[in-house]
Structure 1
């Protein structure tokens, strides 16, 4: 088997483990939220949400890009590990000290001084991530996502156990914070053990400079990406008020299911895969892109078409008719979701080639174009107008700019065009079938089953090559026979 084929085999195995781990974590989080909702009052959730917003933003920049830089490092891990460990620890400790000081001011600004110590406890999880950043990178770099998945699942179990126990004993919002910190510590210990990388501290200025040249632009780009994911909520809330924001956020949360489940799993695998292929040369990298694009599009586009076409049925079935204003928002945020998934893949390809500044500038341009567009859209068309603005900027600004960056990095755009052609062609009849059958079926659940099921089937039959379908059928029969 060629080196590229071996990398593909390892990446496929790593992706399966990442998807499985994410699926179990998402299901477990949902169950845990149901339990905690019965033990805590809404104010506790609000206090934790304030702390979580700060923590989630910091996690984008916590390690100064060390994880990605270590995964992409050209050379032996032992050359970079001691210096990378020091850089990650210093970065996370500095950010923790900063937020320890500003926590009272941030909590007061957010309207809840009770959140101060919850913020300080929750931010300690980022210290743990800094300590274990290089070990996590080592597991991703060597495609041992199975070990990473088991460590994360064990940490989630600890998180759930501590959170529920404390909540049952009246700890309020602190139950979330201590639960997450306990889970992070257990995950960190397991990652350190399973990675098998000796914990050494050292500092080589040349190595540190290379790490930061790669990591800081990527880190800044991820920070701007975090802004992109939250700025619409701020603007919609300011322009239209909390009630309309509630409808908008419901649609946004539904549209985020796929990036949360599939996107995170892909990011665990995509960067190390493309990095190892880039080490082999331009052609193996292009071969990897040629395989990855249609796979991603085949996973994401049917969900986007389903959300865009059957949005009213999805919202009514899951949340009830009173949330129906969210449906028109979901139609356009489904487009944003599909673009986000593609941009994540392009960003990882660029990072693998060492072009980490390009995604940063693209995200900055995206943000600068998005803010006025959202304000205008919200004022002119309400929550639907904001969603339309979000979709238009994603398609008209973000994708062309990333395409230009990709072309400059030496990866031909035709690889993406060829990979997207068949899934995009399949999306058209799938959408038409869903729209046609939804008009003939009564009831949200029936629409999703009949129209959604038929549309997805049409998509698969058109998008997936016949030889692949036949192979899958043979494998299914073989498994059934055993």
Structure 2
């Protein structure tokens, strides 16, 4: 097995284990906590995420993409991360009580205080994590991340059972950060990195400034809607929208999140060896069109039973939100490739420019829609997601010399798979009288039919993913 395939295997194993644990966390939390609890925590963590992007400053990514890695660079990255993390934690600590007053909910401030402590731990895991990624040692990364997720699940269940409400999620997040910090340093001890130094500060600040600016814009896009809705509509709608977003992100967690940790190191290594990035990008587009688009269509068609199974009957307002948002997010299948491609090409500035073009109009549209209700906010995805995808692909396309026709040719076999998946679901629903509310057994039948239809569509279109599936099945069969 090649190094890349081995890395992908462990990355996916980690993500799928994390998804199973995350679903357990979601199912337990949805039954032990209220929508108001989720809303308070969502507002608090949104504020922290706005600051956290400054804390990261792209130090880990900088170490991964360096052509040669020296100890001075690692020490400089750690020192700068400590200074920035301490400053961010101090700002959050001072702002916690005023934030609680601003939202009329003291719990927001309490959540912010606990999460601010977690920021202080992150610099101590950055050197070890970056070096493990650079070595493609995703087996050790997977072990630590799974342990962290499991610790967070146990903490949420225990603390929520004791009646801590939204604070159960805050303390569990701190516990997860502590487990990650200890685990990464045990998996790859680099205690020499904790010696302060600033020899390479210019390179880190230059790269980090562009990376952080891009991150700020994107985090604002992710968090500002929740802050706006919390102010305009209250905590409960924030909780409903947050659960809908979580459901819509399940396909990304199942598929793209397993690729994310591997893609940048692999592309950076490919570029260092003088390889063209055109073919890897088209292959990535082809694979993501074959999995992301069908997954979002299936989610839109089965929104009601999926929400009921995962969250319970008390979240009946979420399925309509999921259906609308999933249809808009169909267009985001090439999005996850944009950042690693531009970084590997040495075009970190383009990531900021692309974000500045697409995200401000999206935020303006959300702000206009918020007073009209949560469904109006969800419907903005039908406009904002295609806009963001178009801008992202445009920047990459120009840098590697691709035409829109070439991108469409890479994506169309995945659309045939989508038709097969939708046909499978419709076949089951037609037998059941075209009901959208299916029980557990009926949902499993619909998902099985969807999977068979998807495979049939990929086979008919000659998609290369079929070869990968056959190879994976052969390895599993031999192992069994």
Please, what TM-score do these two structures have when normalized by structure 2?
Answer: 0.84
Deviation at 1:178, TM superposition (A): 4.0
Q: Which residue of 383, 387, 400 corresponds with 2:390?
A: 400
Equivalent pair of 1:373/1:389 in contact (CA under 8 Å): yes
1:280 aligned residue: 273
Deviation at 1:20, TM superposition (A): 2.0
Residues 379 and 44 of structure 1: CA distance in aligned 2, closer, same or farther (over 3 Å)? closer
Equivalent pair of 2:7/2:136 in contact (CA under 8 Å): yes
Residues 311 and 176 of structure 1: CA distance in aligned 2, closer, same or farther (over 3 Å)? closer
> For the residues of structure 2 that align with 1:162 and 1:82, how far apart are their CA atoms?
33
- In the TM superposition, what are the counterparts of 1:103-142 in structure 2 within 5 Å? 103-142=96-135
1:349 aligned residue: 341
2:261 aligned residue: 268
Equivalent pair of 1:50/1:107 in contact (CA under 8 Å): no
- In the TM superposition, what are the counterparts of 1:51-62 in structure 2 within 5 Å? 51-62=44-55
In angstroms, what is the RMSD of aligned CA positions?
A: 3.5
Residues 240 and 137 of structure 1: CA distance in aligned 2, closer, same or farther (over 3 Å)? same
Question: Structure 2: where are the runs of 5+ without partners?
Answer: none
Deviation at 1:168, TM superposition (A): 6.0
- In the TM superposition, what are the counterparts of 1:304-343 in structure 2 within 5 Å? 304-315=296-307, 318=310, 326-343=318-335
> For the residues of structure 2 that align with 1:26 and 1:62, how far apart are their CA atoms?
26
**Are residues 1:11 and 2:4 paired?**
yes
Residues 78 and 336 of structure 1: CA distance in aligned 2, closer, same or farther (over 3 Å)? farther
**Are residues 1:453 and 2:448 paired?**
yes
Deviation at 1:319, TM superposition (A): 5.5
Residues 162 and 137 of structure 1: CA distance in aligned 2, closer, same or farther (over 3 Å)? same
> For the residues of structure 1 that align with 2:168 and 2:380, how far apart are their CA atoms?
39
> For the residues of structure 1 that align with 2:240 and 2:334, how far apart are their CA atoms?
26
> For the residues of structure 2 that align with 1:36 and 1:385, how far apart are their CA atoms?
27
Deviation at 1:126, TM superposition (A): 1.6
Question: Structure 1: where are the runs of 5+ without partners?
Answer: 1-5
> For the residues of structure 2 that align with 1:454 and 1:376, how far apart are their CA atoms?
40
Q: Secondary structure at the match of 1:111?
A: coil
Residues 317 and 192 of structure 1: CA distance in aligned 2, closer, same or farther (over 3 Å)? closer
Residues 111 and 182 of structure 1: CA distance in aligned 2, closer, same or farther (over 3 Å)? same
User: C-alpha deviations, 1:69-123, integer Å up to 9, x for none?
Assistant: 1111122243521211111111111111211221221222233335545432322
Q: Which residue of 416, 421, 426 corresponds with 1:430?
A: 421
> For the residues of structure 2 that align with 1:349 and 1:463, how far apart are their CA atoms?
26
1:462 aligned residue: 457
Moved more, 213-222 or 433-442: 433-442
Deviation at 1:182, TM superposition (A): 3.3
1:100 aligned residue: 93
1:364 aligned residue: 356
Equivalent pair of 1:366/1:394 in contact (CA under 8 Å): no
Q: Which residue of 205, 213, 222 corresponds with 1:212?
A: 205
> For the residues of structure 2 that align with 1:30 and 1:58, how far apart are their CA atoms?
27
Equivalent pair of 1:433/1:451 in contact (CA under 8 Å): yes
> For the residues of structure 1 that align with 2:156 and 2:319, how far apart are their CA atoms?
34
Please, what TM-score do these two structures have when normalized by structure 1?
Answer: 0.84
- In the TM superposition, what are the counterparts of 1:53-72 in structure 2 within 5 Å? 53-72=46-65
Residues 467 and 153 of structure 1: CA distance in aligned 2, closer, same or farther (over 3 Å)? closer
Deviation at 1:406, TM superposition (A): 1.0
1:144 aligned residue: 137
Residues 336 and 210 of structure 1: CA distance in aligned 2, closer, same or farther (over 3 Å)? farther
Equivalent pair of 2:365/2:380 in contact (CA under 8 Å): yes
1:296 aligned residue: 288
1:420 aligned residue: 411
- In the TM superposition, what are the counterparts of 1:115-194 in structure 2 within 5 Å? 115-161=108-154, 175-194=168-187
User: C-alpha deviations, 1:231-276, integer Å up to 9, x for none?
Assistant: 4445556666766666544432210222344343322111111111
Q: Secondary structure at the match of 1:75?
A: coil
Q: Which residue of 377, 388, 400 corresponds with 1:410?
A: 400
2:78 aligned residue: 85
Q: Secondary structure at the match of 2:175?
A: helix
